[in-house]
């Protein structure tokens, strides 16, 4: 059996619905393919260590951190970036529209990654509670700390009224907490008797 081992590879990646191809080094990261090869600059590089989520894009519809994916790993797959989310500049995707309506951004650096993560979140959980939105965006940091309105935007994009959801889910979370409503640390406690 002969399997080729290559120092340069030809990749074909569908990006925002369009076929793209390039000869790349295997070490090229997907985020650099998007920004530097294709010139799609909405996707930001923040921490470059799989922590902050600024580089989040969709690969075959699921959120990934594109600083921790090789371009060659996306060969033959479909990638969606913020540029490809809305059909045109006047008709925003519902998530982008909700971020605007709820003022879910301040400096805007985290926004493309936050929006892409939120789109993936609703794909998996169409009507999340506030808690589920917060946990679902755990991998995205906003250094303006604008989380409150980001969470409202995602709830709104899911077709829920943020005011109603936030009021009820705070009470529900308090009831479920083993510490009587005091969540002492962002750890996880889960089990058959919980």
Partner 1 sequence: MIPVAFSYARPDSVDGALALLAEHGEDATILAGGHSLLPVMKLRLGAPEVVIDIGRLPELRYIRVQGDEVAIGAGTRHRDLEASDVLGSDVPLLAAVARTVGDPQVRHRGTIGGSLAHADPASDLPAAVLALDATIVLRSPRGERQVPATGFYTGMFSSVKEPDELIVEIRVPRTGSAGWAYEKFTRRANDWAIVGVAVVDGRVGLVNMGASPLRASATEAALADGASIDEAAALADQGTDPQTDVSATAEYRRHLARLLTRRALTTAAG
Residues that bind partner 1 (CB under 8 A): 1, 3-7, 9, 25-27, 29, 48-51, 53, 56, 59, 62-65, 68-70, 72-73, 75, 117, 120-121, 124, 136, 138-140, 185-194
**For residue 21, what are the contacts with CB-CB under 8 A and spacing of at least 6?**
10, 11, 12, 13
Quick one: which H or E segment has residue 15? strand 9-15
Closest to partner 1 by CB, 117 or 151: 117
Residue 173 C-alpha from the chain's centroid: 24
Burial class (CB in 10 A: 0-12, 13-18, 19+), 28: middle
CA gap 66, 55 in Å, rounded: 5
Nearest distance, CB of residue 88 and partner 1, angstroms: 27
Nearest distance, CB of residue 90 and partner 1, angstroms: 30
Nearest distance, CB of residue 116 and partner 1, angstroms: 9
Nearest distance, CB of residue 36 and partner 1, angstroms: 12
């Amino acid at each position: 059996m002969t399997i080729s081992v290559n120092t340069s590879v030809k990749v074909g990646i569908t990006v925002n619905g369009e076929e793209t191809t390039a000869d790349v080094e295997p070490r090229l990261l997907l985020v650099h393919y998007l920004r530097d090869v294709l010139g799609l600059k909405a996707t930001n590089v923040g921490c470059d260590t799989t922590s902050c989520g600024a580089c989040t894009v969709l690969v075959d519809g699921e959120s990934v951190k594109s600083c921790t994916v090789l371009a060659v790993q996306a060969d033959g797959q479909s990638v969606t970036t913020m540029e490809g989310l809305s059909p045109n500049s006047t008709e925003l995707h519902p998530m982008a529209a909700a971020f605007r309506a709820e003022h879910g951004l301040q400096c805007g650096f985290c926004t493309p990654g936050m929006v892409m993560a939120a789109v993936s979140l609703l794909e998996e959980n169409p009507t999340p509670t506030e808690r589920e939105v917060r946990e679902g965006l755990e991998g995205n940091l906003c250094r303006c700390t604008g989380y409150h309105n980001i969470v409202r935007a995602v709830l709104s994009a899911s077709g829920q009224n943020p005011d109603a959801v936030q009021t009820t889910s705070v009470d529900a979370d308090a009831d479920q907490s083993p510490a009587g409503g005091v969540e002492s640390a962002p750890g996880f406690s889960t089990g058959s008797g919980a």
